[in-house]
Amino acid sequence: MTGLLGGRTAIVTGASEGLGRAEALALAEAGANLVINARSARADDVAADIRRAGGSAVTCIGDVGDQATADRLVATAIAEFGGLDILVNNAGIIRDRMVFNMSAEEWDAVLRVNLRGTFLTTRAATDHWRRRAKQTGEPVYARIVNTSSEAYASGPPGAANYAASKAGVVALTMSTARGCASFGVRANAICPRARTAMTSDVFGAGPEAGEDPLSVEHVAPLVVYLASPAADAVNGRVLVAYGDRIDVMAAPTVEASLRSASRWSQDELHDVLGGYLVAPSPEPESAVTG
């Protein structure tokens, strides 16, 4: 296969179904060699689909929360295809429960896959790319696309573990983008609104007829773009994607700056800070759609 990503090699985690599968197929269609990761042998079916379509794909079964799996993913890309160019971190789980009922095990399980897993693969990939850059004396071609969620900003009440993990993914992405740009890495995060098995309770069933605006097929092209040479100037960004829309998220900004006459007293805090915080919030500006 030739195309936008011809000759490139990509790892996609959590790629046995849903969004990860759609991303892997789209990357392969664009010409990339694929290392397909999942915890089950269903990853083999995705790799077989890619090969039947004329692409190149192998599988690497394992839990991304394990360091050994992350290391094996990078080693597999190098052994099978001679290198690694693209890392798409899609693997994720949910264990929804109100925070006062959430067990430590439910917290740890979600953070382990969603955040620790993203960190482990990022560390393995960026270590490989840094070594290559030092050997060649020039920046490498390296793309990371991490999967966050709008939950990182909205804080849904029954998903403290999930929201915290996805906030961590955003912070990890921004830090990676800034810390690794000098040797060629471009790291960005997407927040997909996509109808999958994991989000069925959130979005419900799709339309009975016509195109589903929350289909994973609407998100996959953005991942291909971020993985491509055309996105070389895109780094450290967070993008919400669904249907025909992409929302570009801004970094946290100062909403207001409140000053004390001298040192804050309790009365002044109540009057100035409390008075500001309990006032009605301004209506957010409408997002521009295209």
CA 157 to chain centre: 22
Alpha helices by DSSP H, listed for 137-265, are: 151-154, 160-180, 200-203, 220-227
Of 118, 124, 125, 175, give the one whose Cα is nearest residue 146. 118
162 classed as catalytic: yes
Selecting among 148, 149, 215, 228, the annotated active-site residue is: 149
Residues, the chain: 290
Q: For the CA atoms of the chain, what is the radius of gyration? A: 21
Q: 225 in helix, strand or coil?
A: helix
- The residue assigned the tokens 């309990």 is 278
Facing residues of 159 across strands?
Answer: 97
Interatomic CA distance for residues 71 and 180, integer angstroms: 19
Interatomic CA distance for residues 23 and 37, integer angstroms: 12
Selecting among 162, 165, 228, 242, the annotated active-site residue is: 162
286 classed as catalytic: no
Interatomic CA distance for residues 211 and 272, integer angstroms: 51
Selecting among 165, 166, 228, 242, the annotated active-site residue is: 166
Of 167, 156, 188, 140, give the one whose Cα is nearest residue 9. 140
166 classed as catalytic: yes
Please name the residues in contact with 59: beta carbons below 8 A apart, sequence gap of 6 or more. Answer: 35, 36, 37, 38, 41, 43, 44, 46, 47
- Cβ–Cβ < 8 Å for 144, 185: yes
Structure tokens at 29: 């269609």
Facing residues of 145 across strands?
Answer: 88, 188
Residues annotated as catalytic are 149, 162, 166
